[in-house]
Amino acid sequence: MATHPHTPDELQARAASLDDADPLSALRDRFLLPEGVIYLDGNSLGALPAAVPSVVADVVRRQWGTDLIRSWNEHSWWQAPLRVGDAIGRLIGAAPGQTVAGDSTSVQLFNALTAACRLRPGRPLLLTDPAHFPTDQYIADSVARVLGLRVCRVPVRELPRFLAGEGDRVAVAGYSPVDYRTGELYDMAATTRAVQQAGALMLWDLCHAAGALPVGLDATGVDLAVGCGYKYLSGGPGAPAFLYVAERHHAAFDHPLTGWNGHAEPFALDGHYIPAEGIARARIGTPPMLSLLALEAALTAFDGVDMGRVRAKNLSLTGFLMDCADTLLDGFGFTVVTPRDPGRRGSQAALRHPEAYALVQALGTHGVIGDMRAPDLMRFGVNSLYVSHRDVLTAMLRLREIVSAGEHRQESFRRRTAVT
């Protein structure tokens, strides 16, 4: 690892001055973080927004407990998938009426990929990244099997070359703008353009972008997008995902899961499926209302928040984290794998270390929560709404203490848990 000019004292002073000048610092009060915990895993499960517990209690006790079935009308439960979809849409640059909330990212990937292939009949190829999150690859394989098509795994950087040769055979390209392991950010606009110039459709998985980057879906002309509600959107464990379908595709959008909620007249209870107009045809079945309304409450943490500022802060936090790693961890076997170029990184920084798992476990016992991705990556996700530069510095100082004392070598930190 390259040596870096900053001393620990200089890092301390820099953290203080960056935090003092942070226009988003007050947003931390919109979250209920446990005392003494530094939470750098919001790229896996966002922290609990303060607005959520009372809303969930009200939904359970009053809306469900007292108002019962009437709540579908009286509390507008029926409209929630599109209402919450629009709230997410505001954060990802989607005008109203193009985003629906519901189901999991995996399910929405299946829907989006299948519908995309149906929009491009006669094109036999689906493209995905061999480094993409596994579920994206598995679902692409399954869609290809169901439709009798073929998946080509093409790294995002090699897309232009592949498209030059095979572009007219490609139905859809499904990629993530952010590498979930390294945090590397790819050029969404250029990739979208290249895919569309080949006549194919562009599908983005925004799990690591929604709520962290000002994703301009409409402005970029993206065709389809999916993403989860539980990472930077902080909607809670297993929060509903979302599907974005650009308006120009609505009329021809042939959704594979034709559930009754997506029917033009659900309560006509007709035996034949007629899709609803617009994004409502991407509804499926009865939504998990408790989770959906928890997500809606969570999204209020973004009220009045400028995504440009969110982005500027997470770049500052990740840049600072890498500076701290350079100074404090030099000589301990770490490699920073996240790009230093701000234009090429998302909202997380990752360090490679052969004992990554044990180090993450040891850090957890010192109140610093990150995570590990096999075989050797420590990931630190920074949510601009509740992470400070002081948090980042403290995390790196604790990591140095652990590694210099060899504390992570204890047997208990090597025992694998189900979730890493």
Ligand X SMILES: Cc1ncc(COP(=O)(O)O)c(C=O)c1O
Least distance (Å) from ligand X to the CB of residue 178?
Answer: 8
The answer to whether 53 touches 66, Cβ cutoff 8 Å, is no
Angle value at C-alpha 100, between 304 and 32, nearest 5 degrees: 45
Catalytic residue among 205, 223, 323, 326: 205
Least distance (Å) from ligand X to the CB of residue 209?
Answer: 9
Least distance (Å) from ligand X to the CB of residue 202?
Answer: 15
Query: Nearer to ligand X by C-beta: 135 or 220?
Result: 135
Query: Nearer to ligand X by C-beta: 256 or 367?
Result: 256
- 340-346: long-range contacts, CB 8 A cutoff, minimum separation 24: 342/315, 343/185, 344/184, 344/185, 345/183, 345/184, 345/185, 345/315, 345/318, 346/177, 346/178, 346/179, 346/183, 346/184, 346/185, 346/208, 346/209, 346/212, 346/213, 346/314
How many angstroms separate the CA atoms of 336 and 344, rounded? 14
Least distance (Å) from ligand X to the CB of residue 81?
Answer: 16
The answer to whether 117 touches 147, Cβ cutoff 8 Å, is yes
Catalytic residue among 123, 169, 345, 379: 379
Other C-beta atoms closer than 10 Å to the C-beta of 53 total 13
Least distance (Å) from ligand X to the CB of residue 375?
Answer: 17
Least distance (Å) from ligand X to the CB of residue 136?
Answer: 6
Instruction: Give the strands of the sheet with 201-205, arranged side by side.
Output: 99-101, 242-245, 224-227, 201-205, 170-175, 125-128, 150-153
Query: Nearer to ligand X by C-beta: 176 or 384?
Result: 176
Catalytic residue among 110, 133, 186, 253: 133
For 224, the 3-state DSSP assignment is strand
User: Is residue 230 among the annotated active site residues?
Assistant: yes
Binding site residues, ligand X, CB under 6 A: 104-106, 133, 135-136, 176, 180, 205, 207-208, 228, 241
User: Is residue 205 among the annotated active site residues?
Assistant: yes
User: Is residue 231 among the annotated active site residues?
Assistant: yes
User: Is residue 313 among the annotated active site residues?
Assistant: no
Query: Nearer to ligand X by C-beta: 105 or 316?
Result: 105
How many angstroms separate the CA atoms of 103 and 97, rounded? 18
Per residue in 355-379, is it b (16+ CB within 10 Å) or e — as a string?
Answer: bbbbbbbbbeebebbbbbbeebbbb
How many angstroms separate the CA atoms of 304 and 39, rounded? 23
Query: Nearer to ligand X by C-beta: 113 or 198?
Result: 113
Query: Nearer to ligand X by C-beta: 179 or 296?
Result: 179
Helix (H) or strand (E) holding 380: strand 377-381
Query: Nearer to ligand X by C-beta: 56 or 107?
Result: 107
Chain-centroid distance, C-alpha 45: 10
Least distance (Å) from ligand X to the CB of residue 205?
Answer: 5
The answer to whether 191 touches 221, Cβ cutoff 8 Å, is no
Chain-centroid distance, C-alpha 129: 17
Catalytic residue among 180, 186, 230, 386: 230
What are the catalytic residues? 133, 205, 230-231, 379
